């Protein structure tokens, strides 16, 4: 029983047979027209159905309404066995998600690792359910995504340029001699024919060696040296298993990884995305959370809930851009814009494109106003205006707040902070919030000689000193 709702194609056949005197052969033609979505045949079937219903004494208006429902069903209708199989799969999937959520999500990540849009949805699902997604790690990651203490560990197969041969070599070396102690130890133990420069660079970029306690920038700078060192050690082991006096070869001390300042957040995240296809340890828009609340009316994931042609303000970064030329020779563009929740396609027609072209070339977060449009693919945005998010922030900001810990405030750091502040004079009053570990926070309002300019350059200079997101604006 389906309570008056058409679920199977066989039900349509029965409706046609009983109400419009279709033979079983004719009803099967109707089923095939629905299955193949043949519009012309469906129109012929409408005429046949209405004529048959009228001959049987049924109300013409009700018969037309019923066929409309049948036609709507035909847009996505299946036969009973197909529907039953889908129903069973839906039930099993729902059960797995309800009772084995972490394992279910890990399987989704593994099966769709190459689909960036789907993976981003899975990451948002993790956030909604407070599930931590752990980055790739050459000591902890398996080939596929796995569950570790109710957390999901990124699989090595999800890292770009890391093929099956490299993965097998890494896992085999790990099983044989235990965890890797660092970058140079790793290069001594894996197969250099399978783990080449591209593989190692991708692993460093995505954070798979973060356990070393060295900066990604430092490790990346010595990738070539580490590979050469590892190949040399392996060659010596293979060519001379024992020394002249019968003992084992003395271990060779690896070079030190240079103590290089870490990449600024933007560069670090961009390289991470280059290696994975998306961000995992953070997002370029994280530092703008307070700005997003102030200047946007919707997140991208919520655009599907907005009425067609409704105006919205969204913010995001450009992840893809396609420049086009109209028949009149005017330039326009199709953008893919990403925020913390998802992606959307944004169309910039010539008039808007002309005003925004300089901003589009700057690789900065954007604030976009436009009308939501819906089609079979989902929501898109027809842009009315495009501007820099920092420009909007600079116009509205009156105060700059620095969040620091007493652990950050050595004498040399304070002197560097003063230098940075003098480098970026402006109109915004500055406040420093100092957190004493496990104690209260104190706030200092800086004198007017330290009024500041709320630019991206100022924020990046502070990040080089104090790490991620040390500021917010009011």
Contacts of 73 (CB under 8 A, 6+ apart): 6, 12, 34
Q: Are residues 247 and 340 in the same domain?
A: no
Among residues 265, 296, 316, the one where a domain terminates is 265
Q: How far apart are CA 138 and CA 127, in angstroms?
A: 24
Is the residue at 280 inside a domain?
Answer: no
Q: State the DSSP code for 151.
A: E
Q: Are residues 119 and 209 in the same domain?
A: yes
Q: How far apart are CA 282 and CA 63, in angstroms?
A: 57
Three-class secondary structure of residue 309 per DSSP = coil
Quote the number of domains for the chain.
4
Contacts of 301 (CB under 8 A, 6+ apart): 124, 341, 342
221: closest CA among 190, 263, 249, 173?
263
Q: Are residues 260 and 118 in the same domain?
A: yes
Is the residue at 61 inside a domain?
Answer: yes
Both tokens assigned to 219: 């490790």
C-beta of residue 133 within 8 angstroms of C-beta of residue 280:
yes
CATH of the domain at 290: 2.40.50.200
CA max distance for the chain: 108
Q: Are residues 347 and 415 in the same domain?
A: no
Among residues 354, 377, 392, the one where a domain terminates is 392
Q: Are residues 105 and 236 in the same domain?
A: yes
CA dihedral 169, 174, 175, 176 (to 10 degrees): 80
pTM (2 d.p.) = 0.73
Both tokens assigned to 200: 């190692």
User: Residue with structure tokens 């790690």?
Assistant: 137
Phi then psi dihedrals of residue 314, to 5 deg: -125, 160
Is the residue at 93 inside a domain?
Answer: no
Q: How far apart are CA 398 and CA 474, in angstroms?
A: 6
Give me the residues paired with residue 248 across strands.
242
User: Residue 55 belongs to what H/E stretch?
Assistant: helix 39-55
Q: Are residues 221 and 204 in the same domain?
A: yes
Q: How far apart are CA 29 and CA 371, in angstroms?
A: 43
Is the residue at 310 inside a domain?
Answer: yes
Among residues 52, 81, 110, the one where a domain terminates is 81
Q: How far apart are CA 25 and CA 15, in angstroms?
A: 14
Q: How far apart are CA 176 and CA 379, in angstroms?
A: 51
Both tokens assigned to 184: 């140079």
CA dihedral 225, 230, 234, 239 (to 10 degrees): 10
Q: How far apart are CA 120 and CA 344, in angstroms?
A: 12
Phi then psi dihedrals of residue 414, to 5 deg: -60, -40
Q: How far apart are CA 12 and CA 241, in angstroms?
A: 78
CATH of the domain at 176: 1.10.150
Q: How many CB atoms lie within 10 A of CB 388?
A: 17
Both tokens assigned to 250: 């003395």
Is the residue at 106 inside a domain?
Answer: yes
Q: How far apart are CA 267 and CA 320, in angstroms?
A: 17
Q: Which domain holds residue 453?
A: 397-473
Is the residue at 95 inside a domain?
Answer: no
C-beta of residue 200 within 8 angstroms of C-beta of residue 229:
no
Q: Are residues 130 and 106 in the same domain?
A: yes
C-beta of residue 31 within 8 angstroms of C-beta of residue 2:
no
Q: Are residues 468 and 336 in the same domain?
A: no
Q: What is the CA radius of gyration of the chain?
A: 30
Three-class secondary structure of residue 8 per DSSP = strand
Q: Are residues 293 and 258 in the same domain?
A: no
User: Residue 234 belongs to what H/E stretch?
Assistant: helix 223-239
Q: Are residues 254 and 385 in the same domain?
A: no
Q: Are residues 231 and 119 in the same domain?
A: yes
Q: How far apart are CA 389 and CA 391, in angstroms?
A: 5
C-beta of residue 254 within 8 angstroms of C-beta of residue 185:
yes
- Which pLDDT tens digits describe the chain residue by residue (474 residues)? 778 788 888 888 889 999 999 998 998 888 888 777 777 888 888 899 999 999 999 999 999 999 888 888 877 778 889 889 999 999 999 999 999 999 999 999 999 988 877 888 888 888 888 899 999 999 999 999 999 999 999 999 999 999 999 999 999 999 999 999 999 999 999 999 999 999 999 999 999 999 999 999 999 999 999 999 999 988 888 776 555 555 555 667 888 999 998 998 889 999 999 999 888 888 888 888 888 888 999 999 899 999 999 999 999 999 889 999 999 999 999 999 999 888 899 999 999 999 999 999 888 899 999 999 998 778 999 999 999 998 888 888 888 888 888 877 788 888 888 888 899 998 889 888 888 777 778 888 888 888 988 888 888 888 888 876 777 788
Is the residue at 442 inside a domain?
Answer: yes
Is the residue at 241 inside a domain?
Answer: yes
Q: Are residues 169 and 297 in the same domain?
A: no
């Amino acid at each position: 029983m389906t309570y008056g709702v058409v679920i199977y194609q066989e039900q349509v056949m029965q409706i046609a047979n009983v109400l419009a005197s279709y033979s079983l052969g004719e009803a099967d033609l109707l089923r095939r027209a629905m299955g193949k979505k043949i519009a012309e045949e469906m129109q012929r079937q409408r005429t046949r159905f209405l004529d048959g219903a009228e001959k049987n004494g049924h109300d013409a208006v009700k018969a037309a309404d019923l066929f409309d429902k049948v036609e709507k069903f035909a847009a996505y209708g299946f036969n009973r066995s197909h529907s039953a199989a889908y129903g069973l799969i839906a039930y099993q999937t729902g059960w797995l998600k309800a009772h084995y959520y972490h394992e279910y999500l890990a399987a989704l990540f593994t099966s769709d690792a190459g689909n960036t849009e789907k993976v981003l949805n899975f990451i948002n699902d993790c956030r909604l359910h407070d599930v931590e997604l752990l980055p790739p790690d050459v000591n902890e990651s398996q080939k596929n995504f796995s569950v570790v203490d109710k957390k999901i560990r990124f699989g090595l197969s999800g890292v770009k340029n890391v093929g099956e041969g490299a993965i097998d070599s890494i896992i085999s070396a790990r099983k044989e001699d235990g965890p890797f102690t660092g970058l140079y130890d790793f290069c001594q133990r894996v197969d250099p024919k399978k783990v080449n420069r591209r593989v190692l660079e991708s692993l460093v970029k995505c954070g798979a060696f973060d356990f070393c306690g060295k900066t990604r920038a430092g490790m990346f700078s010595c990738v070539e040296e580490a590979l050469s060192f590892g190949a040399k050690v392996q060659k010596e082991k293979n060519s001379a298993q024992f020394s002249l006096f019968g003992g084992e070869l003395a271990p060779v001390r690896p070079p030190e990884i240079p103590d290089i300042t870490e990449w600024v957040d933007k560069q670090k995240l961009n390289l991470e995305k280059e290696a994975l296809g998306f961000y995992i340890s953070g997002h370029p828009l994280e530092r703008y959370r307070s700005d997003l609340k102030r200047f946007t009316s919707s997140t991208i994931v919520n655009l599907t809930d907005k009425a067609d042609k409704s105006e919205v303000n969204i913010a995001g970064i450009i992840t893809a851009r396609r420049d086009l030329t109209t028949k009149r020779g005017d330039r326009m563009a199709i953008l893919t814009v990403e925020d913390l929740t998802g992606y959307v396609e944004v169309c910039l027609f010539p008039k808007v494109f002309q005003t925004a072209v300089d901003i589009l070339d700057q690789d900065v977060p954007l604030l976009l106003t436009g009308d939501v449009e819906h089609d079979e693919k989902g929501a898109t945005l027809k842009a009315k205006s495009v501007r820099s998010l920092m420009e909007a922030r600079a116009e509205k900001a009156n105060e700059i707040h620095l969040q620091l810990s007493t652990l950050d405030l050595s004498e040399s750091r304070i002197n560097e902070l003063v230098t940075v502040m003098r480098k970026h004079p402006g109109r915004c009053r500055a406040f420093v919030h100092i957190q004493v570990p496990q104690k209260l926070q104190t706030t200092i309002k800086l004198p007017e000689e330290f009024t500041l300019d709320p630019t991206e350059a100022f924020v990046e200079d502070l990040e080089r000193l104090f790490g991620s997101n040390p500021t917010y604006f009011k």
